[in-house]
Structure 1
């Protein structure tokens, strides 16, 4: 199966969710966090698997999981606490249809052979529902602690990317990177199908490199008009490098209010909105050329499961997954 087909339908946007699935950054959620004695940005993981299954049942296209190796109070975000790749292996077992994406693995911090093995394992366990989202990393403290330089992370990003791709081949040339290896050594398992590579941000790479090497580009949350300009730049880079159409992915932070008709009020990375207005907002992003929207609900005024169900009832029917249209690769 061509996994990217499940994410990208030209002219038709798909909708996913960013994990963790909570509303800790709302006023009510923040009060609850403080009562439980959790630091800011450290989620309650007790119902995450229930909500992941609910996202699958409701028909969301993708669950996106971030990687934060070290919790830094300055940033105040521990993502979903669990090791990203181990957690996706678990989520692969409790979901059936939803795609599972990393947004993003901090590529320069990983041993590429171990990363190749772990990612291919998830691809196998999930029945090819895995999206390999990678990024450069922006927290300087993590790099020296884990034995790497922060300044040359862009070069290590490219090298690790090349090694992972090479390790997934039966007829690999890993000797070009490791003198002690020869063709008899293999990293198993191999992916069952092509694993889509998704770059989060720019990773200090040129747009030409991104267009040539990535299967999709995940860029930062922007207002509709700004997103439209970035989509055009992405399409120009694809055209200039003789590449086919590839997905442009972005995210939005939605504060779903109890007033269902609340007009959209923009804020950083998203804004305040009532559920009856969300479909129109998503349509505007679709018209701007966005291929996939990852919704972030941590600021939502509505309880998280109610917010998910409301999105499933009032928004997803306008953006139906067309996975049935995907044909075997």
Structure 2
């Protein structure tokens, strides 16, 4: 089984975690944030390595991170703070089995050749555990800072995808894309597979047909079960119509796992508060809706994040083991 199949088997849900592993959006976490003097949306990363190792040891399928190069107070979210590829390199060295996903690298503000080289490096260092989620970017403040045009980012996104796939190939010579280049010039290292699994975050101003043809999976924003089911059906129908192999449908859930195991769901933005037994039922509903991987985000968790990670691993993960 290759790495994308680990989260892409139809009818089987796998469970991952979204970084940062902090509860800075909960009341207790917000109090600590203020005591530490951190702006809103800047998480506590003091024990990030311990928690990442814990997730790996306990059998979570994937760790997901975002690409936020600049903290913008108007957005109020610094993600995991670390630069994405630097952090992926670190995580690849301290974990063994867990997949390392990006949701998502903002390709239009990055140089595609260096992005391709960075991704191939991580893929090799992690022994093939990279899932490269890519997005268009929605923070207009970032584009002029990197000397990039915001308006034509969708076109640059497509060109960047094509270039990265090309240079990852053996004999992926650069003169086929650039004039005046030595015919033998190419980018090393090469990844463990001809193409690193690419996952689209959202639509990125692309058609669903383009996403299905060019990407190996689709990561959607958190939605309720019914809305997710509609999108998963549309995705699977598109993949089938284009006569492609089944591809994963991934989403996330902002979880507050409360102490009462039978506590019913109280929805909040992008997720909800509930006990582990109701969480199990909810995840079965998402599985039936066609979701193949769920990334749980714990920034709203009212209890210590370690407790939630351990409780989910004990009572939930065994239910969804392939």
Query: Shorter-chain TM-score category?
Result: over 0.9
210-219 or 271-280, which deviates more = 271-280
CA-based RMSD of the aligned residues comes to: 1.1
Query: What SS class does the counterpart of residue 231 from structure 1 fall into?
Result: helix
Corresponding residue number in structure 1 for 2:139: 139
Corresponding residue number in structure 2 for 1:20: 20
Give 1:180 shift. 2.8
Query: What SS class does the counterpart of residue 294 from structure 2 fall into?
Result: strand
Query: What SS class does the counterpart of residue 147 from structure 2 fall into?
Result: coil
Q: Provide the TM-score with structure 2 as the length reference.
A: 0.98
Q: Provide the TM-score with structure 1 as the length reference.
A: 0.95
Answer yes or no: is the 8 Å Cα contact 1:256–1:302 preserved in 2.
yes
Corresponding residue number in structure 1 for 2:106: 106
Give 1:145 shift. 1.1
- State the alpha-carbon separation in 2 of the partners of residues 301 and 266 from structure 1: 14
Q: Which runs of 5+ in 1 are unaligned?
A: 323-329
Query: Does structure 1 residue 267 correspond to structure 2 residue 268?
Result: yes
90-99 or 183-192, which deviates more = 183-192
Give 1:174 shift. 2.6
Corresponding residue number in structure 1 for 2:130: 130
Corresponding residue number in structure 1 for 2:4: 4
Query: What SS class does the counterpart of residue 108 from structure 1 fall into?
Result: helix
- State the alpha-carbon separation in 2 of the partners of residues 181 and 280 from structure 1: 57
Answer yes or no: is the 8 Å Cα contact 1:20–1:43 preserved in 2.
yes
Answer yes or no: is the 8 Å Cα contact 2:61–2:99 preserved in 1.
yes
Runs of 4+ in 1 over 4 A off after TM superposition: none
Answer yes or no: is the 8 Å Cα contact 2:116–2:168 preserved in 1.
yes
Give 1:236 shift. 1.7
Q: Which runs of 5+ in 2 are unaligned?
A: none
- State the alpha-carbon separation in 1 of the partners of residues 150 and 243 from structure 2: 33
Answer yes or no: is the 8 Å Cα contact 2:232–2:289 preserved in 1.
yes
Answer yes or no: is the 8 Å Cα contact 1:264–1:273 preserved in 2.
yes
- State the alpha-carbon separation in 2 of the partners of residues 261 and 180 from structure 1: 66
Corresponding residue number in structure 1 for 2:45: 45
Answer yes or no: is the 8 Å Cα contact 2:98–2:129 preserved in 1.
yes
Give 1:10 shift. 2.0
Answer yes or no: is the 8 Å Cα contact 1:172–1:183 preserved in 2.
no
- State the alpha-carbon separation in 2 of the partners of residues 230 and 298 from structure 1: 25
Corresponding residue number in structure 2 for 1:192: 192
- State the alpha-carbon separation in 1 of the partners of residues 81 and 173 from structure 2: 36
Give 1:44 shift. 1.5
